[in-house]
Amino acid sequence: MPKWSKGRIALLGDSAWCLTFAGQGTCTAMAGAHILAAELARKGYTEALESYKARMRPLVMKMQAVSR
């Protein structure tokens, strides 16, 4: 999905990036949840959601390419 959040609602795991390669979706969802929680602890939700996406998207894009 091009956008992983709207307002105060964020998508995690397969609802945001749908990985199908060797169970990586579960591991990546857990990492995403951890990163999002850390960002929310330090910043307001708008900044935190953008930071979460900026940190996760490069990894997710790489893993999606491998999954294809």
The count of structural domains within the chain is 1
13/27 Cα distance (integer angstroms): 9
Which residues 6+ apart lie within 8 Å of 43 measured at CB? 51
Residue 23 forms part of a structural domain: yes
The tens-digit pLDDT sequence of the chain (68 residues) is: 778 888 988 887 777 777 766 667 788 888 889 999 999 999 999 999 999 999 999 988 888 887 76
Residue 7 forms part of a structural domain: no
3/16 Cα distance (integer angstroms): 8
pTM for this predicted structure:
0.78
